[in-house]
Amino acid sequence: MPHLVLNLRLPVLLCLSLAAGLAYGAEAAPHERARDLGIPFDGTPGPLNAITDIAGVLVGQTTLISGDGKLVVGKGPVRTGVTAVLPRGAESMQRFSFAGWYSQNGNGEMTGTTWVEESGFLESPVMITNTHSVGVVRDAVIAWRVAHGPPDQTESWWSLPVVAETWDGWLNDINGFHVKPGHVFQALDSARSGPVEEGAVGGGTGMVCNGFKGGIGTSSRKLSDKDGGYLVGVLVQCNYGRRQNLRIAGIPVGREIESEDPYAWMPSDIAEHGSIIVVVATNAPVLPHQLKRMARRVSLGIGRTGSIAGNGSGDIFIAFSTANAGASEISHGPVDLRMVPNDSMDPLFAATVEATEEAIVNAMIAATDMTGIDGHHVRALPHAELRAVLARYNRLVK
Amino acid sequence: MPHLVLNLRLPVLLCLSLAAGLAYGAEAAPHERARDLGIPFDGTPGPLNAITDIAGVLVGQTTLISGDGKLVVGKGPVRTGVTAVLPRGAESMQRFSFAGWYSQNGNGEMTGTTWVEESGFLESPVMITNTHSVGVVRDAVIAWRVAHGPPDQTESWWSLPVVAETWDGWLNDINGFHVKPGHVFQALDSARSGPVEEGAVGGGTGMVCNGFKGGIGTSSRKLSDKDGGYLVGVLVQCNYGRRQNLRIAGIPVGREIESEDPYAWMPSDIAEHGSIIVVVATNAPVLPHQLKRMARRVSLGIGRTGSIAGNGSGDIFIAFSTANAGASEISHGPVDLRMVPNDSMDPLFAATVEATEEAIVNAMIAATDMTGIDGHHVRALPHAELRAVLARYNRLVK
Amino acid sequence: MPHLVLNLRLPVLLCLSLAAGLAYGAEAAPHERARDLGIPFDGTPGPLNAITDIAGVLVGQTTLISGDGKLVVGKGPVRTGVTAVLPRGAESMQRFSFAGWYSQNGNGEMTGTTWVEESGFLESPVMITNTHSVGVVRDAVIAWRVAHGPPDQTESWWSLPVVAETWDGWLNDINGFHVKPGHVFQALDSARSGPVEEGAVGGGTGMVCNGFKGGIGTSSRKLSDKDGGYLVGVLVQCNYGRRQNLRIAGIPVGREIESEDPYAWMPSDIAEHGSIIVVVATNAPVLPHQLKRMARRVSLGIGRTGSIAGNGSGDIFIAFSTANAGASEISHGPVDLRMVPNDSMDPLFAATVEATEEAIVNAMIAATDMTGIDGHHVRALPHAELRAVLARYNRLVK
Amino acid sequence: MPHLVLNLRLPVLLCLSLAAGLAYGAEAAPHERARDLGIPFDGTPGPLNAITDIAGVLVGQTTLISGDGKLVVGKGPVRTGVTAVLPRGAESMQRFSFAGWYSQNGNGEMTGTTWVEESGFLESPVMITNTHSVGVVRDAVIAWRVAHGPPDQTESWWSLPVVAETWDGWLNDINGFHVKPGHVFQALDSARSGPVEEGAVGGGTGMVCNGFKGGIGTSSRKLSDKDGGYLVGVLVQCNYGRRQNLRIAGIPVGREIESEDPYAWMPSDIAEHGSIIVVVATNAPVLPHQLKRMARRVSLGIGRTGSIAGNGSGDIFIAFSTANAGASEISHGPVDLRMVPNDSMDPLFAATVEATEEAIVNAMIAATDMTGIDGHHVRALPHAELRAVLARYNRLVK
């Protein structure tokens, strides 16, 4: 199988070591984003309008696209990948981050959440892939740590990585298990700060969102100095929803754009299909229970886009903070922390809602048309038609 | 002895017999509703577009309004009340209903939820009042059952009533404890089917919502025959939100209607204040864990109205089903039940989201201006101005 | 003024001043405790072996005992009361305490838990009473704060007090609602440090535990200096269990002590009846999610006594920390905190388990025989017989 | 191609074909069990005193033991395996089972629980392995279903398998990832009814429990006809606890048996290390929320053995029912169910507590001494010494 690897740190080695697939790096041409089209959003974004606005947060993605035509399980076509979000860069598995999670609808997997809930800590990167590759990614994160981390001098180290998924079986040979450990290492090793590639990349490669092509999207908010000046970043792997329900800028645009509905075969045009994984990062010093509060606000951002959180949807959210970097220090006595008072959290809540809404639209705006298994074709949200609809409702800001 | 007036439906008499306040009955003139103004909503409402579309569900309300001018704790002014939702009419405390609940933000009280969660049953009416009167209402529900229910032959009966609240201290002498047991009996005894009075009535009397006058609102959805033909009804006591965030029909109307913000004194114009209690009823045969799923969808309906679920907000939701009427039969062996398959729940989810959104707007549309303690004045959402804003965005259906 | 009669044993006077009932003060003669009988327990208790070993924690109790003979609802006999645990003495409603809660079986009420879960704070005393008096106690806590607290300068203060209960209807005229606001004020105003009266006092007055007389019990543990030297205190209102299941020091003593089973009329001799409320206090600087972890350990202590957490049982636990006294400071910016590392929590977990087990046995050892409504008689656990059973199993330490 | 050997039941062949280790089949000689030693337990066991007493429940185990001496990561020594519990035999992934779960302490993984919680269904076998092999086992369950299940005619099938773990790194080269897909297929394909092999087998191969050798244990309870005659079975993978805390039959035997503590190097002798996974099966018709109630009772059974649920412990429990076999039928309309009334659940709760306690002791009694990596040696609980201790406390029944 062909191996075309962009932006590799060890391209040749990886090419040799990977069993299958085409791995794209992150040096793609800049893509349009929702604001470029004049779509209005609330709040003030950070410099990159991306989760990487939070210092220390790195994103790495491995994109696997190969083959065409009829599905042959184990052969392809392949439309899948892995996205890695590292809370504290290379230290993400030694220096833990306070975290909280929430499931709006649990038809999905996010491993490691039982320990997040118990301990209050995220002790690994957050990985996102397809539904049937969660296992390989999980164990590979451990293997990566074994290979890269400091030696385990206590002989009692273990890890419970956080790995989430959405289902790409409409476009991808999902039962072919094309994600391999090497793809996971690549996503982790290539993770970096700066702009995040959006659309049909990484774990989001084969996703479908609100009846159009979905994938990875991101956005951020910068609080006013009066409100602490904190940053909140969101990254979504967007695979949920039905066209009938889609609202952008509050307008039910899904009903007004003529386009084939990839899920027209479903029993009802209200039924949703697919999932959304949302990662929320902040540099505000918030405690685990406060991060759970932020995770619960993701639902309100998704609500703005018209979702009903259908039965088939895995709508699972995790929020972490890069503040309190010493919280997981190995210490016999107590460690020192800081906490934003509950009374000061509303701007963080608003930022979470707003950045979630925008990240979803960014994912759809960045995505392009894709044909996958058995000729299944999913059209991207057409920019000009979208603008035309919003203009009819006086909802364009430029 | 309040028990003597339990069966009266004579508000005038009650006004005389009760320690404080003027109790209004339910015979108010019909008020305008959101659809009357041409505001568009998704889905098909039931005949009454009210929670009482679900057969057996009764609503009773006691409204307490008296006094004017400066606050004298214990004297007034009084702007408060009680709303009762009876799942199975007079049998609500003998024949229990499957139920589930969810807290989007727990700055509020809903008693009885620990047992709802454990048992899967709602074993009482759902009562809604002001924050500082939850206790009196709770014990009064037990007293009402003691007075009305069958004798406790086992000598081991107890009750854990469900009573929720939102805070009306901006308009009401909330620390004067003006809700008395008799007001609770009145709400229970006067509960009935048919249209539900909305706006500044019952528990919603003194509420403020999204910067305008709030209160009680309701709506319902009727599923297509293909989807089972079930009904879903929603009743809200609406007291949450800031004007800046308010979206109606997806349009941020709160920013475009000139009006004094009653919460302009708060530290930030994004900060929310207040709460929303939502009661969801259905006749679909859904199990407790499925009702919890429905309760979680309320967040998505609130999300459509722009809420960020502020720190100060008690956003607590309960959903119950009137199906499976024999589920709580005293039986040595198993009881027979029916269950909607998970795969068929999406229309129920959509109905919950849609009816929540509409019930909130109905509460605001029905409410009228009110002046409470210390001259605090809260303006109702002005119908003509609202229509003008929506017309500018091409979002009126008539 | 009920406050004046707090320490009196003058029922007539109290009867005049209070609406109903006989209120005993706290100056009872010292009672025997489990260790006095030679029952072995794990761990090292604090100086008082009581929840009041934690500095700042005060306990106040109002005991209501009056009448004899046949039940006349509203008249008696009365066997009930109120127990108040104040986390930070007089400041308990101004200076909040981190807290977490857990329900092992939710056939009970603990109001205020939705906000404890959301905010991480306990913002009131923990009150314990009978099942049908939760409401009056809850509103009375608010009234007490209104009367005693600083004025509410923001005009936006509200309170969501924590009030729990167990059912005393086997001995008490529970539907007579004999607990009045004055009894609540009395419990709060008389709260003090030092030894805690145990047995049939306060909220525990009419309780039955494991087939014998139950009530209030307490115990504490002092961690070694190596483990931080922290204190953990437990107070229980003990009303759960069946004689068949009772284990003391691991021995199923309930099966070997000849005594009439007050619940012999129940359908099965395994079925439990009643409830247990457990309050855990510590001065260790633990965060809300860590306090929830401690609350979950209460189950293990109850497990040691043989409980199956029967369907009828409200087994609800709350844990709070008096450390981080500045956590709820009104502050625009972040506040400073300390946190015990998760890796150092095992001694706190062990202390919780051990002190729970001992507090339950203390409640039973301190209680004395009681006759209540309709001549229902509940025997106290007989000390000599208990010692004889334990001696047969070589399980006495003296 | 591992799929080729899926249907073989030839351990020798598998040993040759698999990359690492020696795979033992299930034909081991009968081992002693706790009752054989005269240890007393409450309740009446089913015919096999095993989880396989519940009709349809199959257990399959792959045991991997190879190598000796010093740890070389990737080479061994290997002391690990996989245990599979199939709720409905070969139909376990087509005909789902109502289920509920609970985490007493979440320092562990059980994948798939988010969907169990949401849907109320267990849709896969319950697999148990070591901490770092959860991923390979999870994906292999999907591969096994792809290979064995009916074709996916909707093209929209996905699976979220339930896979749990405990940590065997004290004896096993856990970072060598020795569990391979073939071992998972073997455990699934070899699953059968009848007696269950206990001790150091399957996922339990390398486990340490309460300072002695741990592993797999099982037990069951048969309810009286009066209580419905239902069966409750429990299977544990037992790896938790410290010797100081161990109670058998209520006696702290761990303190009286002279033996080297494998965790003597830990900072405190109260600190626990390790985990326990508990699977509860019943044929009683109980709903998902009732199964969660049963899962929560596991804590009480573990409590009887003296556990404090240490910070390092993953104490995660899942309960499922084989009744209501039609609950997951694909159906447009409602499906028919039966439900045990809440009031009749106490015998099910007692059975869960009792069978948990016994399964843990069975795991320890069946295990034999083992030496693993770096010469780490773990002694089995010595039968004669245990009997001697219990005899001193008059706690032997024969």
CB contact under 8 A, A395 and B393: yes
Q: Convert C205-237 to b/e letters by CB count within 10 Å (16 or more is b).
A: bbbbbbbbbbbbbbbbbbbeeebbebbbbbbbb
Rounded to an integer, the average pLDDT of B234-243 is: 96
What are the beta bridge partners of residue A370? A378
Q: A44-58, A267-281, C320-334, D50-64: which range is least confident on average? A: A267-281
Contacts of B251 in chain A (CB under 8 A): 250
CB-based contact, B119 to chain C, within 8 Å: yes
Q: Active site residue: C159, C190, C307, C313, which one?
A: C313
Rounded to an integer, the average pLDDT of A349-373 is: 98
- Quickly list DSSP for B50-96: SGGGSTT-EEEEEEEEE--SS-BTTTB-EEEEEEEEETTGGGTTTS-
Contacts of A73 in chain D (CB under 8 A): 146
Q: What is the pLDDT of residues D257-305, one digit of tens each?
A: 977 788 887 777 777 778 999 999 999 999 999 999 999 999 999 999 9
Q: What is the pLDDT of residues D330-369, one digit of tens each?
A: 887 999 999 999 999 999 999 999 999 999 999 999 999 9
Rounded to an integer, the average pLDDT of A205-228 is: 97
Q: A135-149, C140-154, C161-175: which range is least confident on average? A: C140-154
Q: What is the pLDDT of residues C53-75, one digit of tens each?
A: 999 999 999 999 999 999 999 99
Rounded to an integer, the average pLDDT of D33-57 is: 98
Chains interfacing with A (3 or more CB pairs < 8 Å): B, C, D
Measured between CA atoms, how close is D253 to chain C, in angstroms? 11
Both structure tokens of C64: 């209501």
> Regarding predicted confidence, which is higher, A268 or C387?
C387
CA A389, CA A386: separation in Å to the nearest integer? 5
Interface of D with A in 293-322 (CB under 8 A): 314, 316
pLDDT above 90 coverage of chain D, percent: 84
Both structure tokens of B239: 């007291």
CB contact under 8 A, A303 and B342: no
Both structure tokens of A325: 């970097």
Residue D270 confidence (pLDDT): 75
Query: Which candidate in B116, B146, B158, B166 is best for mutational testing of the C interface (most C CBs within 10 A)?
Result: B158
CB-based contact, C356 to chain D, within 8 Å: no
Residue A29 confidence (pLDDT): 61
ipTM score for this prediction: 0.92
Establish, for the pair of chains A and C, how many residue pairs have beta carbons separated by less than 8 Å.
76
Q: What is the pLDDT of residues D68-117, one digit of tens each?
A: 999 999 999 999 999 999 999 999 999 999 999 999 999 999 999 999 99
CB-based contact, D273 to chain A, within 8 Å: yes
Residue D5 confidence (pLDDT): 28
Residue D21 has pLDDT above 50, yes or no: no
Q: What is the pLDDT of residues A260-272, one digit of tens each?
A: 788 887 777 777 7
Residue C28 confidence (pLDDT): 53
Q: Which residue among B104, B312, B394 sits closest to A296, beta carbon to beta carbon?
A: B104
Does residue C275 carry a catalytic annotation? yes
Residue D349 confidence (pLDDT): 98
Residue C16 has pLDDT above 50, yes or no: no
The reported pTM is 0.94
- Give C260: exposed, middle or buried? Use CB within 10 Å, 0-12, 13-18, 19+: exposed
Contacts of C107 in chain B (CB under 8 A): 115, 118-119, 160
Both structure tokens of B139: 């014990």
Q: Active site residue: A173, A315, A321, A328, which one?
A: A315
Q: Convert B369-391 to b/e letters by CB count within 10 Å (16 or more is b).
A: ebebbeebebbbbeeeebbebbe
Q: Convert D165-195 to b/e letters by CB count within 10 Å (16 or more is b).
A: bbbbbbbbbbbbbbbbbbbbbbbbbbbebeb
Residue B259 confidence (pLDDT): 77
Measured between CA atoms, how close is C217 to chain D, in angstroms? 20
Q: Which residue among C307, C309, C347 sits closest to D268, beta carbon to beta carbon?
A: C347
φ and ψ of B385, to 5 deg: -65, -40
Q: What is the pLDDT of residues B304-326, one digit of tens each?
A: 999 999 999 999 999 999 999 99
CB contact under 8 A, C336 and A337: yes
CB contact under 8 A, A336 and C338: yes
Establish, for the pair of chains C and D, how many residue pairs have beta carbons separated by less than 8 Å.
119
Query: Confidence class of residue C153 from pLDDT cuts 50, 70 and 90?
Result: low
Q: A261-265, B379-383, C7-11, C245-249: which range is least confident on average? A: C7-11
Residue C134 has pLDDT above 80, yes or no: yes
Rounded to an integer, the average pLDDT of A358-364 is: 98
Residue B22 has pLDDT above 60, yes or no: no
Rounded to an integer, the average pLDDT of A58-77 is: 97
What is chain B's percent helix, strand, coil content, to nearest 5? 30, 25, 45
Residue A148 has pLDDT above 90, yes or no: no
Task: Tell me what the pLDDT averaged over chain B comes to.
Answer: 91
Residue C222 confidence (pLDDT): 98
Query: Which candidate in B113, B337, B346 is best for mutational testing of the D interface (most D CBs within 10 A)?
Result: B337
Chain A nearest-CA residue for C338: A336
Q: What is the pLDDT of residues B82-139, one digit of tens each?
A: 999 999 999 999 999 999 999 999 999 999 999 999 999 999 999 999 999 999 999 9
Angle value at C-alpha C251, between D294 and D31, nearest 5 degrees: 65
User: Do B274 and B236 meet the contact criterion of CB atoms below 8 Å apart?
Assistant: no
Query: Which candidate in C82, C105, C107, C118 is best for mutational testing of the B interface (most B CBs within 10 A)?
Result: C118
Contacts of B105 in chain A (CB under 8 A): 293, 296
CB-based contact, D159 to chain A, within 8 Å: yes
Does residue B159 carry a catalytic annotation? no
Q: B28-37, B46-55, D300-309: which range is least confident on average? A: B28-37
Tokens 């009397």, residue located: B205
Residue A5 confidence (pLDDT): 29
Residue A109 has pLDDT above 90, yes or no: yes
Q: A357-361, D154-158, D202-206: which range is least confident on average? A: D154-158
Query: Confidence class of residue A102 from pLDDT cuts 50, 70 and 90?
Result: very high
Q: What is the pLDDT of residues A298-331, one digit of tens each?
A: 999 999 999 999 999 999 999 999 999 999 988 8
Q: Which residue among D287, D290, D336 sits closest to B336, beta carbon to beta carbon?
A: D336
Tokens 């999902």, residue located: A174
pLDDT above 70 coverage of chain A, percent: 92
Residue B271 has pLDDT above 80, yes or no: no
Establish, for the pair of chains B and C, how many residue pairs have beta carbons separated by less than 8 Å.
132
Q: Active site residue: C275, C299, C307, C328, which one?
A: C275
Residue D256 has pLDDT above 50, yes or no: yes
Residue C273 confidence (pLDDT): 77
Query: Confidence class of residue B7 from pLDDT cuts 50, 70 and 90?
Result: very low
CB-based contact, C330 to chain A, within 8 Å: yes
> Regarding predicted confidence, which is higher, B199 or D150?
B199
CB contact under 8 A, A311 and B104: no
CB-based contact, C289 to chain A, within 8 Å: yes
CB-based contact, C103 to chain B, within 8 Å: yes
Q: Which residue among A138, A143, A177 sits closest to D134, beta carbon to beta carbon?
A: A138
CB-based contact, C99 to chain A, within 8 Å: no
Task: Tell me what the pLDDT averaged over chain D comes to.
Answer: 91
CB-based contact, D340 to chain B, within 8 Å: yes
CB contact under 8 A, C120 and A328: no
Rounded to an integer, the average pLDDT of B174-184 is: 98
CA A271, CA A243: separation in Å to the nearest integer? 10
Residue D148 confidence (pLDDT): 85
Residue C268 has pLDDT above 70, yes or no: yes
Residue A14 has pLDDT above 70, yes or no: no
CB-based contact, A258 to chain C, within 8 Å: no
CB contact under 8 A, B300 and A297: no
Query: Which candidate in B71, B118, B311 is best for mutational testing of the C interface (most C CBs within 10 A)?
Result: B118
Does residue D219 carry a catalytic annotation? no
CB contact under 8 A, D301 and C303: yes
Distance separating the N- and C-terminal Cα atoms of chain B: 53
Chain B nearest-CA residue for A295: B104
Q: How far is CA D193 from CA A122, A305, C175, in A?
A: 40, 50, 53
> E-assigned strands of chain C?
23-24, 58-66, 78-86, 97-106, 121-122, 126-130, 162-166, 208-209, 212-213, 215-222, 231-238, 276-282, 314-321, 335-339, 370-371, 377-378
Contacts of A299 in chain B (CB under 8 A): 104, 296, 299-300, 303
CA D244, CA D212: separation in Å to the nearest integer? 11
Q: Active site residue: A193, A313, A321, A328, which one?
A: A313
Distance separating the N- and C-terminal Cα atoms of chain A: 46
